[in-house]
């Protein structure tokens, strides 16, 4: 009995596993520093590492964010970032 060869190519290999559910976002890192920042559009970010105090312009109060925090910054917000522990984050505008 003759065997028929299949003309179908083999299926493609599976996609590699993601290392993080946040891989689709843009990575960004920063050493300890202090700098002003204005958001030209809304930003969502997830801090993988680090610690930052964010001082909104016109205020002496701050919000401290760190590893594991998910933060949304509104479009037009002006603030100062005071990075005390080097930051590694993923973000999306």
Question: Domain map of the chain by residue range?
Answer: 35-92
CA–CA gap between residue 33 and residue 61 (Å, rounded)? 18
Residue 87: count of CB within 10 angstroms of its CB: 23
What band does 5 get if pLDDT is binned at 50, 70 and 90? low
- What's residue 59's pLDDT? 93
Q: Cβ-count burial of 79 within 10 angstroms (0-12 exposed, 13-18 middle, 19+ buried)? A: buried
Q: Two tokens at 80?
A: 């100062």
Is the model's pLDDT at 16 over the cut of 60?
no
Is the model's pLDDT at 45 over the cut of 80?
yes
Q: Given this structure, which CATH class describes domain 35-92? A: mainly beta
- What's residue 70's pLDDT? 96
**Average pLDDT in the chain:** 86
- What's residue 13's pLDDT? 61
pTM (two decimals): 0.73
């Amino acid at each position: 009995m003759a065997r028929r060869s299949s003309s179908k190519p083999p299926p493609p290999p599976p996609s590699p596993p993601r290392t993080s559910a946040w891989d689709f976002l843009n990575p960004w890192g920063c050493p300890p520093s202090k700098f002003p920042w204005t958001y030209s559009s809304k930003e969502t970010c997830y801090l993988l590492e680090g610690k930052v105090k964010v001082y909104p312009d016109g205020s002496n109060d701050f919000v401290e964010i760190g590893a594991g925090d998910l933060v949304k910054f509104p479009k037009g917000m002006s603030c100062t970032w005071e990075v005390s522990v080097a930051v590694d984050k993923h973000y999306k505008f």
